[in-house]
Structure 1
């Protein structure tokens, strides 16, 4: 039988053995280095933000005449968008109240919806063919591209048109007698793209507003814009 003594298990309350000087130094160095790196990163971020703020152009306030020149595209666009909002609200109110506008026949109501879709499609085609390419020469907000390579406003067009396709399909079926008209079904075909449509109508006008346009274009260039 072995006579070697068996080591007693360490007490859970026993203090941890002291660190060697080498361990203390290594631990202290690591902590100090970590803090230093954080300080450097924070200072770099602050400096970059300050530099960006400094390099932003500090433009004088626009005179009323200058504002009209730089804001005219936004004002023109808002006229079209208000028409789309009004027609959408006519259709949507019927869905939420459960009845068509007083005195409007089913045929007229369906035609109103189809006309809304036609006008919106033509509006987007004109924008993407004649207006956005000109703006995209200087403004990334209107850059064309495939998928996520396109600017947000153009990606919104794609989302909106998916919703338009579903709504048009339903209204055409009702018009041709292939489906019975139902306001609940109409609401289903509208609510999926309501948010992106209304966001787009607001965002596009804001992007064309005077304070943004003056960052990219001169007054003479604004006068030559195709709108």
Structure 2
């Protein structure tokens, strides 16, 4: 499992955003769409760029947690309380971020995009949310026991609470950005609609995230 997680880190897209496609894209019904200009691409890709930034913060914090557990050594600039606070805050912020998506963002997108409809067979992003939260609950339970003095912090033990849902977390951080990217969004939304969406460029989506 550790090797799979390390591989996922290495192959992660991080905060990169693709350039406009070199070839024409197709609508869901197969109709070929015209190439996007640079300005059109920026408009269609605004939500993905915003999401990539927020996900980058989560990814970097998660890697700090995972590295400490793997090396069985706290980060050099943290004591145990600092590390516990970092991890608990990570879980809290990720949970809040997903709640915002599920309550305000996904329902809007689901009006046209099957990937965001809870009842649709391809709604993998929502299934990833569920699996991530199942993993977070296990980790948060362990952290609570440590905070209450019911058990001592043991990083190898904590790693067991982290690694089993790490793969789905890292995959989700990439998959969601791809789903919101220009190449996909243009199949369902007009430029005017994209420019009016509140979670696009400068829309403040995820501003509450504290990833460091």
Q: Please indicate the TM-score interval, normalised by the length of the shorter structure.
A: 0.7 to 0.9
3-state SS of 2:157 partner:
helix
Secondary structure of 2:74's aligned partner: coil
Residue 149 (structure 1) shift = 5.5
**Per-residue displacement from partner, 1:28-62 (whole Å, max 9, x unpaired)?**
xxxxxxxxxxxxxxxxxxxxxxxx99x61211211
Who is 1:90 aligned against? 64
Higher helix share: 1
Residue of structure 2 in register with 1:161 after alignment: 133
| Alignment partners' CA distance in 1, 2:99 and 2:68 | 28
Matched position secondary structure for 2:45: helix
Q: Tell me if 1:194 matches 2:166.
A: yes
Q: How does 1:140-179 map to 2 (within 5 A)?
A: 140-145=114-119, 151-179=123-151
What value does the CA root-mean-square deviation take over the aligned residues? 1.7
Residues matched between the structures, number? 173
Show the counterpart of 1:113. Answer: 87
Q: Pick from 165, 177, 188: which aligns with 1:216?
A: 188
Q: Secondary structure at the match of 1:103?
A: coil
CA contact (8 A) 2:61 2:90 kept: yes
Contact 1:130 1:226 in 2 (8 A): no
Segments of structure 2 that go 5 or more residues without pairing to the other structure are: 1-25, 200-212
- The answer to whether the aligner puts 1:127 opposite 2:101 as a matched pair is yes
Higher RCO structure (Cα 8 Å, ≥6 apart): 2
SS at match of 2:54: helix
Match of 1:74 in 2: 48
CA shift for structure 1 position 150: 7.3
Aligned to 2:111: 137
Structure 1 residue runs of 4 or more that deviate by more than 2 Å after TM superposition: none
Alignment deviations for residues 163-211 of structure 1 (CA, whole Å, 9 cap, x no partner): 0000000111111111100001110000110111111110000000001
Which of 38, 43, 47 matches 1:64?
A: 38
